[in-house]
């Protein structure tokens, strides 16, 4: 069995940090929707550091053609069906279900990082775009990250704890998925 491990969570939940650490621990490749959209904004001459530009383009790509968007992100990450991949930044059920459809023979699993508002605010405070946090939280692209995706998640991990604990819990979930198919990876 091979896995496409999809990380989701609200802004400041630790998706990029945790997904990178998990990919490193597993020796798997990693792709990010944010990384892809950032590269596209820059290619189009926009400001890749503007969260608003990233959210607007990401939402547009979802609405225009979710399948094409997912295929582009998977290709950006070097994924071929049957590979293991960690993918960061799933913010829509449509995107997750599209990944489920595109993944075989790999199996897509959704891992949701749940963090409290205080910790998310503290994490965002050190970012260059911290002044934009209040606006960013209300953008349409963020609504499913707090409402629908946790309900669909295969695992919800409390990301308010130390990074090593969060990564360990993610690896445990992944190994449980792999062992359910008679295989482990760590």
Q: Where are the chain's structural domains?
A: 3-180
Enclosing H/E stretch for 7: strand 3-9
Instruction: Kindly provide the b/e burial profile for residues 114-142, where b requires at least 16 CB atoms within 10 angstroms of the residue's own CB.
Output: bbeeeebbebbeeeeeeebbeebbebebb
Contact predicate 128/147, CB 8 Å = no
Non-local (6+) Cβ contacts of 121 within 8 A are 12, 133
3-class SS string, 48-71:
CCCHHHHHHHHHHHHHHHHHHHHH
CATH class of segment(s) 3-180: alpha beta
Q: List the pLDDT tens digit at each of the 186 positions of the chain.
A: 899 999 999 877 888 999 999 999 999 999 999 999 999 999 999 988 887 888 889 889 988 999 999 999 999 999 998 999 999 999 889 999 999 999 999 999 999 999 877 666 665 665 555 555 554 555 455 555 667 889 999 999 999 999 999 999 999 999 999 988 655 554
Question: Model's pTM, two decimal places?
Answer: 0.84
Tokens, residue 110:
């959704």
Contact predicate 76/32, CB 8 Å = no
């Amino acid at each position: 069995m091979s896995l496409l491990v999809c990380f989701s969570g609200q802004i400041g939940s630790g998706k990029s940090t945790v997904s990178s650490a998990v990919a490193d621990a597993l020796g798997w490749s990693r792709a990010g929707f944010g990384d892809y959209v950032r590269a596209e904004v820059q290619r189009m001459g926009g400001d890749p550091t503007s969260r608003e530009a990233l959210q607007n383009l990401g939402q547009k790509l979802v609405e225009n053609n979710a399948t094409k968007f997912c295929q582009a992100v998977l290709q950006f990450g070097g994924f071929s069906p049957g590979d293991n991949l960690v993918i960061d930044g799933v913010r829509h059920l449509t995107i997750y279900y599209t990944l489920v459809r595109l993944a075989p023979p790999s199996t897509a699993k959704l891992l949701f990082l749940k963090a409290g508002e205080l910790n998310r605010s503290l994490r965002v405070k050190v970012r260059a775009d911290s002044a934009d946090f209040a606006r960013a939280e209300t953008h349409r692209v963020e609504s499913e990250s707090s409402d629908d995706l946790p309900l669909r998640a295969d695992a919800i991990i409390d990301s308010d704890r130390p990074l090593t604990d969060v990564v360990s819990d993610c690896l445990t979930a992944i190994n449980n998925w792999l062992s359910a198919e008679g295989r482990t990876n760590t």
